[in-house]
Structure 1
Amino acid sequence: MFTRVHLLTALTLLSLAAPAAAQETKVPYWASIRSEEVNMRVGPAEEYQIAWVYRRPQLPLKVLRMKDGWRLVQDPDGAKGWMNQRFLTRQRTGYVVGKEPADMRQAGEAGAKLLWRIAPGNVGLLGDCDAGWCQFELGKRKGYVEQARLWGAGEP
């Protein structure tokens, strides 16, 4: 009986800790779009007007605020609005910025072999960043891109 009481107490404490841990997430932080289509709203509820409709899975977003199950986010163009958290993931992605294509290199240095040139607006998976270069995966293409050319890399 004594063991059951301890087990029940431990399970109760764990169930209370999960929601508390979710609230401890510090903002801002990076997220990305999980779905094929998601609405950005002007407020944190489905009753609010839709400001934008996104059809860009993996598009990185900066989460600025949290309210219940909603996140105030900013996209690479600076647009801000609210998205339901179920359409977001913590998977790190990068969005190629600038007016010219970004170089993808074999190693994280300017003199490394050029593998591809990536047009601005492309979105890929983001790996570790070090010394101003980030591992970047765009489809089957893998290499390193300058961190300054990727929105979603570095501190939010």
Structure 2
Amino acid sequence: MRLILAKCVLVAGICAGTLSPAVAQGTSVGPSGLKIPRFVSLKSDRVNVRGGPSTDHKVKWIFRRAGLPVEIIAEFENWRRIRDSEGEEGWVYHSLLSGRRTALISPWQRTGTIVSLRDKPNEKADLAAQAQIGLQVDIKTCEKSWCEVSAKRHQGWLKANLLWGVYPNEEIN
């Protein structure tokens, strides 16, 4: 009975947003055994985001873009609380998420801004391609403060601080 009551209090606190994900989890590792927070991507081009961790909760909105990066900030059983690049939060069933790493190029910048991808992880390296902000890219690798990314048939290196979907100084192989 105490275990059920404790679970109810935990879920209520998470759903109400009164507990931070770290406090709600009590550790930086969730029930899945994976780190919290962490970035993942949407597996499907139709993903319901709910107000709480069950199908009993209403759908808050629907993502319609496979591969979009989201940040897992909490876990409850098979449900993941996610945050998108605009700061919106909700719950998604775990099987609708993928470990594939993607990112958005500088979604916080003004529309129409162009960024330069380089041949090597160096600001003075040759230009590999140019991309508009908001473009969704696949992350191939990140080292130090640079990430190698690709989109369609283009690839190049971009400073990690221009990507939403990568933590500062994160290494991705």
Question: What TM-score does the superposition give when structure 2 sets the normalisation length?
Answer: 0.73
- What does 1:53-132 correspond to in 2, within 5 Å? 53-97=62-106, 98-99=109-110, 100-132=113-145
Deviation at 1:22, TM superposition (A): 6.0
Matched, 1:40 2:40: no
Q: Which runs of 5+ in 1 are unaligned?
A: 1-20
CA RMSD of aligned residues (A): 1.7
Deviation at 1:77, TM superposition (A): 0.8
- What does 1:139-150 correspond to in 2, within 5 Å? 139-150=152-163
Moved over 4 A (4+): none
Deviation at 1:115, TM superposition (A): 2.2
SS for the counterpart of 2:161 is helix
Instruction: Give the share of equivalent positions with the same residue, in percent.
Output: 25
Matched, 1:152 2:171: no
SS for the counterpart of 1:23 is coil
Deviation at 1:118, TM superposition (A): 1.2
- C-alpha distance in structure 1 between counterparts of 2:64 and 2:46, whole Å: 5
Query: Greater CA deviation, 92-101 or 59-68?
Result: 92-101
The answer as to whether partners of 2:31 and 2:77 remain within 8 angstroms in 1 is: no
Q: Which runs of 5+ in 2 are unaligned?
A: 1-29
Matched, 1:138 2:147: no
Aligned length: 136
Bigger radius of gyration among the two = 1
Higher relative contact order (CA 8 A, sep 6+): 1
